[in-house]
Amino acid sequence: MTTILNEADQTLFDSVCDDAREAMLLQTIADTMEWDGQTGLPTKAGDYRADQVSMLRGEVHAKRTASSYGDRLIQLAETVKDADPHSDVAATVIELHRDYDRNRRLPADLVRATSMATVRGQQKWEAARKADDFSLFRDSLIDIVKLKREAGDCISDGTDRSCYEALLDEYEPGARVDQLQATFDSLRGPLVELIAAIKDAPKQSDVSILQRSFPIDAQREFSKKVSAAIGFDFQRGRLDETSHPFCTTLGPNDIRILTRFEQHWLPGGLFGTLHEAGHGMYEQGLRADWFGLPPGSYVSLGMHESQSRLWENQVGRSREFWTWLLDDAKAAFEPSIDDVGLDSFYHAVNTIRPSLIRVEADEATYNLHILIRFDLERQLIERHIEVADLPDAWNARYESDLGITPPSDADGVLQDVHWSAGLIGYFPTYTLGNLASAQLYEAAEQSIGDLPDQISRGDFGPLADWLRTNVHESGRCYSSDQLIKKVTGKPLSAKPLMNYLTLKLSPLYGLV
Amino acid sequence: MTTILNEADQTLFDSVCDDAREAMLLQTIADTMEWDGQTGLPTKAGDYRADQVSMLRGEVHAKRTASSYGDRLIQLAETVKDADPHSDVAATVIELHRDYDRNRRLPADLVRATSMATVRGQQKWEAARKADDFSLFRDSLIDIVKLKREAGDCISDGTDRSCYEALLDEYEPGARVDQLQATFDSLRGPLVELIAAIKDAPKQSDVSILQRSFPIDAQREFSKKVSAAIGFDFQRGRLDETSHPFCTTLGPNDIRILTRFEQHWLPGGLFGTLHEAGHGMYEQGLRADWFGLPPGSYVSLGMHESQSRLWENQVGRSREFWTWLLDDAKAAFEPSIDDVGLDSFYHAVNTIRPSLIRVEADEATYNLHILIRFDLERQLIERHIEVADLPDAWNARYESDLGITPPSDADGVLQDVHWSAGLIGYFPTYTLGNLASAQLYEAAEQSIGDLPDQISRGDFGPLADWLRTNVHESGRCYSSDQLIKKVTGKPLSAKPLMNYLTLKLSPLYGLV
């Protein structure tokens, strides 16, 4: 720990860190209970589990909003105000104070009500999606949107932020809607153009290769092997299955990734695992001695997504990756793809085609799904539309933006868990992550001489090290914008992603 | 709820119940964390998990020992002192007060130290067993025994109980060592005689039938099917795998049983699952509206074990059970036991033979393993032997009582997890359970007319209902002794178990 504090301040600082670590201990317990809730909870056990989690979340909130804790932070904030804000000690104080301020703005009743509403919301959403009936979820979502508007108002009160911006700030600290909108606008034009060109391109992929039979057991074993090969540490984590894949951190040495496998769709499980492993490697790359404190925490969800997307797409969908892996894949799924050559396989995993379901979308059209959600959730929070209007608004945007009409709500507005879980302001971080993954990978390629060669040999160590050193180990001592600028020398933009997509896809589709 | 309280007392009673339920909410969270710790925790995640569990156990203990809680209980105890002690309200007050008194006697520091020592203890035990080296576990066990002696002294202080009795009381409330010793002594003679007769009996079983190949996947599916058939409710529970099988209650509708399967030993997984399902059905049979309170709690570990043993042995090892199930078993494991007839199979699952490992022992010799542990742990607590003497003392008893010399500590003194987990006073409850299972089954047979016929048809409803009505739904409104007397008309004795064993085994082994 860099010492910039005198003895008394150091004691104060240590006591604040102890409290933050204790809150994290409780938070990871709650997260374990939720992980368990997603991996085979008996059907009738949901209510009691909701009580358990809600009690724990309440305790975490109480710890993080205790005046005795905040008073010490306010005092320390004064002490470090002239220190390097990126030093571990100063960043700890600044970020914990920022979290405290944010948490204090949320009344305990609102936190409790939101926790209950979102646990139930997810159950209602699940039932509504199963029954393909939005009306079963509508009232729940009305409650949730009301609670989130209330939260946004509490957080933005007296600041220059809008209500939506206040919600966004939870996932992407410091992000501003105008800047986000400008970046997304600069992406939309060239992206739509590329997707249109690919639609009518002379060379098309044969995606049916990936729809052959890939037994679940073999997929499980193969995905585990590949995620270990890129650097996910199974002594400090595990891989499980669930209906909605995610990654969760239950301790400094307990990072869990969850995926799902379908027998007749190889990319779902395989790239899903690479994606979650990327998230997991970010968490495993954080400094464990700062666990539960800002220097040992991720920067933002956008930055988190950049790590998952980089391994899933920049690495996992590259020709070099399949140069290394295709023979192993053939052996693992023998005889399903014995007849498939590298060119066909590589093209198949880079199939670009507008589709209904975000989580199944390719890396180009994916961003169009996000832009729709970003617009709709902002309109919801800003009261330009109401929950009852959502299914129609959703379908209209899918027609205009992707040229597809969802045949049902289950495959339309009900496809994502996020809103049912109260995650509003979360969606834009996915596209921020896509942009950052391309920009970081570009910088990594420039810094590491023969990255493509390494990948085609299955040597992922230098890339993983570069990410750990440049991104993970910085923790939250820099904001997302600052870190991107520091590591790549440029502010975040849509250019690297468009360059990457164009350079890869144009030759594949015979556009050059 | 039976109302025997005036309005003010009712309010007081409700507030006490709320507190007890909140403590249970935390306890089930801790139990979920431990369940998770036994089902695939990443190898490096143990330390943080220990911190999480220890924090939660500390919070539970604090809630259950708060003076504000105890003062209300003391006041209520006065109120109900003339009421029927077996009524729900009176039993709630009496038992919660009993727990409070017990918990208050344990200093928070001792509870915390024991929690830490036993989490570490289990890790050390695991390593020692793996390395077959008792010395790796010795210092840990010395600490644990010291802490348990201290706990026993605190609890027995000023009472007429001995230190060991105070520990035993946690698992078997109200049990007295003299009475236990007398019952065990009356079992030992006839049991040793029967085992000796079987050893030299004219007819012997062919146990190799059960050592053929039984693929794990098929065992898993078969065990699940059989446990559902006897009445374990999978909407309110689940079955998982672990190295040391157990059953744990994580909520009123979340009862989890854990087992382990070995490809070349069918009884381990199958009877192990029946055993844990019996535990699980007890928990599922408790009154859910009293969850977390004495009327919705099990009586004692002995009574709990009676439920698991009854399904495992009285039912699961009966000729009628296999009349029903053998064809299904043949189909599930085809062609492994296609050639095996009912007589051979029935004899094989009733093989009686002195062996090294308690958890693999048959239902007769099993009790000899328990008598050894009961004697040794009492001697340890009473300072007649020390931890360093334990391996030799253990081996000496196995030679004299079972005629077997353990070839290694791993298969000797290191075989059980209990002492490493601080469970001293726990072992005798296994044999109490065996005695009670026979006595209860005898009463059930008399009460239910055609029980054997029902079992041979796979109709387990009447037996399950009888157990629920007579045992489960009483909760902890009766002590173990009282309940046995109430249900069977007689105090607990060794006779029903000896009758049951003799009647079944004598003809099987050609002894009549």
Please, are residues A422 and A147 in contact by the beta-carbon 8 Å criterion? yes
Of chain B residues 1-60, which have a CB less than 8 A from chain A?
A: 22, 25-26, 28-29, 32-33, 36, 40-45, 47-49, 51-52, 55-56
Of B193, B58, B151, B28, nearest in space to A50 by CA: B28
Task: Please state the residue numbers annotated as binding site of A for Zn(2+).
Answer: 275, 279, 305
Task: Please state the residue numbers annotated as binding site of B.
Answer: 275, 279, 305
3-state secondary structure B452-493: HHHHHCCCCHHHHHHHHHHCHHHCCCCCHHHHHHHHHCCCCC
Distances (CA, A) of B98 to A70, A419, B74, B115: 41, 48, 10, 22
Residue B2 in this model has a pLDDT that exceeds 80: no
Q: Are strands A246-249 and A255-259 parallel, antiparallel or unpaired?
A: antiparallel
pLDDT at site A112: 84
- Which of A254, A255, A284 to mutate against chain B (most B CBs within 10 Å)? A254
A24–chain B nearest CA distance, Å: 10
pLDDT at site A512: 82
- The CATH code of the domain at A177-508 is 1.10.1370.30
| Cα–Cα distance for residue pair B139/B135, rounded to 1 Å | 8
Q: How confident is the model at residue B380 (pLDDT cuts 50, 70, 90)?
A: very high
Measured between beta carbons, the chain A residues lying within 8 angstroms of B283 are none
Name the catalytic one among B34, B172, B276, B377: B276
| Cα–Cα distance for residue pair B38/A230, rounded to 1 Å | 28
Measured between beta carbons, the chain A residues lying within 8 angstroms of B44 are 235-236, 253-254
| Cα–Cα distance for residue pair A12/A9, rounded to 1 Å | 5
pLDDT at site B1: 46
| Cα–Cα distance for residue pair B353/B365, rounded to 1 Å | 7
Residue A111 in this model has a pLDDT that exceeds 90: no
Minimal Cβ distance to A234: which of B26, B42, B55: B42
Measured between beta carbons, the chain A residues lying within 8 angstroms of B250 are 45
Tokens of B447: 């009460």
pLDDT at site B487: 98
- Residue B276 designated active-site: yes
Residue of B nearest to A255 (CA): B42
AA identity, residue A90: A
In this complex, is the C-beta atom of A236 within 8 Å of any C-beta atom belonging to chain B?
yes
| Cα–Cα distance for residue pair B234/B225, rounded to 1 Å | 10
Contact B29 A56 (CB under 8 A): yes
Measured between beta carbons, the chain B residues lying within 8 angstroms of A252 are 48
Supply the DSSP string of B219-269, one letter for each residue: HHHHHHHHHHHHT--TTSEEEEE-SS-EEEEEETTEEEEEE--BTTBHHHH
- Which of A18, A24, A27, A32 to mutate against chain B (most B CBs within 10 Å)? A32
Residue A74 in this model has a pLDDT that exceeds 60: yes
Distances (CA, A) of A392 to A72, A124, B342: 50, 20, 66
CB-based contacts of B241, cutoff 8 Å, min separation 6: B39, B220, B258, B259, B260, B261
| Cα–Cα distance for residue pair B472/A306, rounded to 1 Å | 54
In this complex, is the C-beta atom of B216 within 8 Å of any C-beta atom belonging to chain A?
no
Residue of B nearest to A25 (CA): B52
Residue of A nearest to B291 (CA): A48
| Cα–Cα distance for residue pair A421/A114, rounded to 1 Å | 9
pLDDT at site B3: 56
CB-based contacts of B305, cutoff 8 Å, min separation 6: B279, B429, B430, B432, B433, B434, B436, B437
- Residues B418-461 have pLDDT tens digits of 999 999 999 999 999 999 999 999 999 999 989 999 999 999 99
Minimal Cβ distance to A42: which of B22, B48, B234: B234
Q: Is B68 exposed, middle or buried (0-12, 13-18, 19+ CB in 10 A)?
A: exposed
Residue of B nearest to A234 (CA): B42
Tell me what the mean pLDDT of segment B170-178 comes to: 95
Average pLDDT across chain B, whole number: 96
Of chain B residues 154-183, which have a CB less than 8 A from chain A?
A: none
A308–chain B nearest CA distance, Å: 21
Of chain A residues 181-200, which have a CB less than 8 A from chain B?
A: none
Q: How confident is the model at residue A1 (pLDDT cuts 50, 70, 90)?
A: very low
Residue B469 in this model has a pLDDT that exceeds 90: yes
Q: How many CB atoms lie within 10 A of CB B18?
A: 11
Tell me what the mean pLDDT of segment B138-142 comes to: 97
pLDDT at site B115: 84
pLDDT at site B112: 84
Provide the β-strand partners of residue B255. Answer: B237, B249
Please, are residues B237 and B286 in contact by the beta-carbon 8 Å criterion? no
Provide the β-strand partners of residue A256. Answer: A238, A248
Name the catalytic one among A126, A172, A276, A363: A276
pLDDT at site B512: 83
Please, are residues A205 and A316 in contact by the beta-carbon 8 Å criterion? no
Please, are residues A437 and A309 in contact by the beta-carbon 8 Å criterion? yes
AA identity, residue B152: G
Helices B216-230 and B266-285: crossing angle, nearest 10°?
A: 30
Tell me what the mean pLDDT of segment B39-48 comes to: 94
| Cα–Cα distance for residue pair A17/A293, rounded to 1 Å | 7
Q: Which of A2-11, A282-291, A335-344, B362-371 has the lowest mean pLDDT?
A: A2-11
pLDDT at site A3: 56
Largest interatomic CA distance in chain B: 71
Provide the β-strand partners of residue B262. Answer: B265
Residue of B nearest to A251 (CA): B48
Tell me what the mean pLDDT of segment A127-143 comes to: 97
Q: How confident is the model at residue B111 (pLDDT cuts 50, 70, 90)?
A: confident
Instruction: Please list the alpha-helical segments (H only) found in B349-427.
Output: 366-381, 390-397
Tell me what the mean pLDDT of segment B83-108 comes to: 95
